[in-house]
Amino acid sequence: MNGLFHYRHTGVVEIVRTAPDARPEHATDAPTRERVARTILELGPSTAAALAEKLDLTPAAIRRHLDHMLDNGLAEVRQPRRPVTRGRGRPAKVFALTEAGRDQFEQQYDDLAVQALRFLAETGGDDAIREFAQRRVDFIEPRFREISAAEPGLAPVAALARVLSDEGYAAGVHDGPVGEQLCQQHCPVSHVAHEFPQLCEAETEAIGRVLGRHVQRLATIAHGDGVCTTCIPTTTTQKSPTTVKEKVS
C-alpha cells in the first residue's frame, strides 16, 4: 500500500495516500543539497560530473539534487562558455544558481540594512553613505598584508581572493584577455548594493589599493550579473605591499 501513516490530533491514525513514486525527504538530503549549491556557488556554473567528483558523490545522487533544485527554481541550465565534452554526443550541460538559489546564502537582515542606509542617506547625505562603505571594507587591507606576510610566495591576487573568500565572497582568480580576473561567485550584500552602489565602489577602490594598480569592475551580482568580475590588467610597475601600506596609513 502506498501511503504514509499520519497521527491526527484527535488521536485517530489515518493513512495519507501518496503517488506510487513519491517518497519522504531523506534526512540527509537537505545538508547534501546545500553542499551541492555551495559548490556551484564557489566554482561557478558546473557540470554534474564535475560536482560529483568534487563532492565524492555518485552522478545519480548529484542529478537527483540538481533536479530538485531545478524544479524549485534554485538552479538553471546554461550553455557553457567553452564547450564541455563528455565523449560522443551532445556537450555536457552546466548548472548555475539562480537569484533565488543565491538568496539561500544571503544575510537574513537585508531589509533592515536597506532601511538603515536609507535613513543614513536622509540624515547624512551621500558623504555618510560613502564613509560607511569605506569602513565596511576596512578589513581588506590588513588581512591582505597578514596573508601576504604569512605566505610570501602567494600571488597578490590569490592572497586577495582568499581574503574575500574568508568573508563569504567565494572568490577565485582566472585568466582574462588583458591580465587576470578576480571573480566573486557570491556577494553577501548584493541586495543592499543594488540600491547603494557605493558599497561596490568602495570595494573596487580597496582592491586597487592593495594590488597597487588600477582595476576595473566588469560585472556585479548587485546589478543582475551572475558573478562580480574585476579586471586586473598585467603591469610591470606594480607597487609593493609596503608602498600600499604607506599610502593608506
pLDDT of the residue at 83: 55
Question: What residue spans of the chain are helical by DSSP H?
Answer: 29-43, 48-55, 59-71, 99-103, 110-136, 140-150, 156-166, 190-195, 198-211, 241-248
pTM, two decimal places: 0.59
> How far is 102 from 79, CA to CA, in rounded Å?
19
74: number of Cβ within 10 Å:
21
Domain parsing of the chain, residue ranges: 28-103, 110-248
The grid coordinates listed for 10 are 484527535
Confidence of residue 81 (pLDDT cuts 50, 70, 90): low
| 110-248 has the same fold as 28-103 | no
**Architecture, CATH, for domain 110-248:** 2-Layer Sandwich (3.30)
Which residues make beta-bridge pairs with 230?
A: 182, 217
| Position 109 confidence tier, pLDDT thresholds 50, 70, 90 | low
Residue 190: alpha-carbon gap to chain centroid: 10
Here the cell at position 149 is 606576510
Q: Give the separation between CA 134 and CA 155, rounded to whole angstroms.
A: 25
| CATH no. for 28-103 | 1.10.10.10
pLDDT score of 248: 37
Q: Is 244 a residue whose pLDDT tops 60? A: no
Phi-psi region of 128 (alpha: psi -120 to 50; beta: other; left: phi over 0): alpha
Rounded to a whole number of angstroms, the distance between the first and last alpha carbons of the chain is: 73
Q: Say which range, 3-17, 31-45, 211-225, has the weakest mean pLDDT.
A: 3-17
pLDDT one-digit tens code per residue, 140-194: 999 999 999 999 999 999 999 999 999 889 899 998 888 899 999 888 888 899 9
Can you give the pLDDT at residue 47? Answer: 93
Calculate Rg over the CA atoms of the chain: 23
> Is residue 238 over pLDDT 60?
no
Closest Cα partner for 101 from 130, 143, 73, 138?
73
